[in-house]
Amino acid sequence: MFSRILPLFFSFLAVLSAAAQREVPRIDIKLADGITLSDLESSKKTWRRAQITIKAAGIGKNITDSAKVRGRGNTTWSMKKKPFRFKFDKKQSPFGLAKGKSWVLLANFLSDAQLNNAIAMRTAQLVGASHANHMIPVELYINGSYRGLYNLTEQVDLASNSVVVPDESKAALLEWDTYDGDPKRDSTYKLPVDLKAPEIEDYVTDYGKEAATLYQETLNSEIQKLTRAVLAERTAEVVDVPSLAAFYYVFDLTGNLELRHPKSVNVWRANIFDPQSKWVFGPVWDFDWAYGYEHTGAFATINPQFDLLDGKGPKGPGRNFFRHAMHGSQEVATAYNELAQRFAKQGGIDSLCKYIDEYAAWIAPAAERDFNRWWKGSPDYTSLAALMKAWLSERATYIAEHPIGYVPTGVRAVPAATRSEEAPIYTLDGRRLSPGATRPAGILLQGGRKIVGNRP
């Protein structure tokens, strides 16, 4: 299932060590028709015409092509250094990746966050997670203005450079996310389910209203079957077990609590009309708050010996679902425990640590320029890279030595929390306020929304 990823992955690894001694690639976005950077940043959802030039720095071919570009993200869009997505007019293969039109530029603007997503996606590749993204460091210029160090990566979608399926009219890519999902789609756990692809408006255009109605009715029914099967300890009947084991391991190793809400949980299926077609977990996404950040507001400082689903953290429906999915199936528990053993004892963690060293060395000059541009985070990731390696190594050992056990789910779901924990609060420059701290006067960010500080 995941063999499509491997040639690209190993090709990328082959140039990584050498790339660490070279410059970080550069992307220039030249907005069309007199559009300014302020215009682009004034609206997240408005597409703007542009010409995009990629100077690949020896990793694949240079590219110049017309495209459209707009903002993206939730909380991150409200910060000074903004994330973007763009869509080429025709499919391109930046840095030798699979050809596609849609790509993302991640800003990594939380303090010291330049390693986060790169480490997580490398882990996903190592464990064979479904359609794992690639994280290419790039320096971004818009209309000649330096915007800093970003990651270029694939837009998660049903597309030639992301989740590839035989027939998109029969497939579904879901995102479980408290920002956009609809809990009415799932009566078992109240998971906030959003149909990421295909878009229903496009489906109506391509196949007609009657076909779109049938598609939506079938999808809603299949979502209910999925969650009811997990509750009834029949996860392996409806879910691709290796994909679930790999997906969960990436979150577990990195200590990413987002799936407990859930947020940014992607699940796809090649054919919702075929009972033999199973749900596949992935691609993994969004590790800004991983590595203990949600506990302490810093990376790799919390004791790495903790259970992902127990203890302090979000108590949303995702927590209940994944507890049942991972512990309520002997097949899932066995697959997960075997993967954890292999990663800890057969070179997986060693490969990851080597990658961290090489990636930190590669981005070093660009990270310093990014720091000088924004005065945010750190100009040198050497110390954090060492801290991350030690933290991840200890966590890999802990997970391997504490295997998941089979625990029957019973006949009732654990009720979802009726009161959500208060979302963390940030200043406009991305600094997280300590819980209970006095809010400074001015505009602050909470849960992707602007609030007003109350200190006189």
Tens digit of each residue's pLDDT (9 = 90 or more) over 265-275: 999 999 999 99
Per-residue pLDDT, 406: 79
> What's the angle, vertex CA 30, arms to CA 27 and CA 33, rounded to 5?
165
Average pLDDT, the chain: 90
Q: What is the pLDDT of residue 433?
A: 64
Residue with tokens 């299932």: 1
**Cα 361 to Cα 355, 366, 428, distances in angstroms:** 10, 10, 29
pLDDT value at residue 325: 98
Distances from the Cα of 363 to the Cα of 14, 20, 113, 144, 343, angstroms? 17, 7, 12, 21, 26
What are the residue ranges in the chain where pLDDT is below 70? 1-21, 409-424, 426-439, 441-456
pLDDT of residue 311: 81
C-alpha to C-alpha distance for 102 and 92, rounded to whole angstroms:
9
Amino acid at 433: L
Write out pLDDT tens, residues 200-248: 999 999 999 999 999 999 999 999 999 999 999 999 999 999 999 999 9
